[in-house]
Amino acid sequence: MVTEIHSAIDFYERHPISCEIILKKLDAARGHLNDLAPEELFPHDQDHYGGLDANDVLAERADIGQGTRIADFCAGLGGPSRYFSHRYGADVTGIELTPARVKGAEELTRRVGLQDSVRVIEGNVMQVPLPESSVDVVISQEALLHVPDKERALSEAYRILKPGGRIVFTDWVAHSPLSDSDRKLMWQGMAVADLCSLDRYAELLQRVGFKVRSIDDLTGEWAEILKVRLAMYQKLRKETQEAGTPAGHDAFYESYVRFVALVSDATLGGGRFAGQKLA
């Protein structure tokens, strides 16, 4: 389990989407970085599939509104956390493993003036540094794929939610088992730990105590999104190399091409899961 954690940190320390490249691009486009608005970050800081629309679906499923207290599991650079605060008036605490991402999230949040309602703290979702019954909603997007013990992360979500609280998350799923070579490629390229099927996630949610509210298979939707995202990463690789910011390692690009193919043939895919801790 220690190996998985270090591998995820190593992957995200080198990831081409970074605070540095976001600020360099904005600086180049605007000529300065003064008075940045949250909306100016949104085209760059959402490290999941489907961008702001995907956030809005989570908000609707979890009934997020003014003052909702959210824990964002695996918050990355804090893009969704800032969006839920700015668009819906939520108070968001992100839990993020990789120190460089915690630091980047802090800087981006401060630059757009959302630091009173958004904080990303360093932590592991398998041992969340928040008290029990302290939040209304737990969200997570495209991140539990890195977490070796998903049941433990879901138990932690259950523990910190108030009675009646909601969990809504999206994640990679495996519709069929991966070959040994694909499993190795996903691990070496993107720090992918064991993946769940849609049914397995339903089972885990129930086992830790949640009532399952809905499960959506996002595989078809993602197959289209991922083709565009692959082109974005290929462009970003060149931009980051020119800018001298983290550019990602060769295995990342190799594994991403294979990942897109595996989603296109529905070996892998995506799921959106909503559950509730009954009052």
Ligand X SMILES: C[S@@+](CC[C@H](N)C(=O)[O-])C[C@H]1O[C@@H](n2cnc3c(N)ncnc32)[C@H](O)[C@@H]1O
**Interface residues toward ligand X, by CB under 6 A:** 8, 12, 46-48, 74-76, 79-80, 95-98, 101, 124-126, 141-143, 146-147
Q: Of 81 and 117, which has the nearer Cβ to ligand X?
A: 81
- Report residue 77 as tokens: 């650079």
Question: Measured from the CB of residue 32, what is the shortest distance to ligand X in angstroms?
Answer: 25
**Sheet containing 69-73, strands listed edge to edge, beginning at the edge strand earlier in sequence:** 118-122, 91-96, 69-73, 135-141, 161-174, 268-276, 211-217
Q: Of 32 and 99, which has the nearer Cβ to ligand X?
A: 99
* ∠ CA 239-218-39, rounded to 5°: 45
Q: Which residue is nearest to ligand X (CB)?
A: 76
Q: Of 10 and 242, which has the nearer Cβ to ligand X?
A: 10
SS3 letters across 170-198: EEEEECCCCCHHHHHHHHHHHCCCCCCCH
Q: Of 83 and 210, which has the nearer Cβ to ligand X?
A: 83
DSSP string for 74-112? T-TTSHHHHHHHHHH--EEEEEES-HHHHHHHHHHHHHT
Question: Measured from the CB of residue 206, what is the shortest distance to ligand X in angstroms?
Answer: 22
Question: Measured from the CB of residue 279, what is the shortest distance to ligand X in angstroms?
Answer: 28
Question: Measured from the CB of residue 178, what is the shortest distance to ligand X in angstroms?
Answer: 19
Q: Of 12 and 222, which has the nearer Cβ to ligand X?
A: 12
Question: Measured from the CB of residue 91, what is the shortest distance to ligand X in angstroms?
Answer: 17
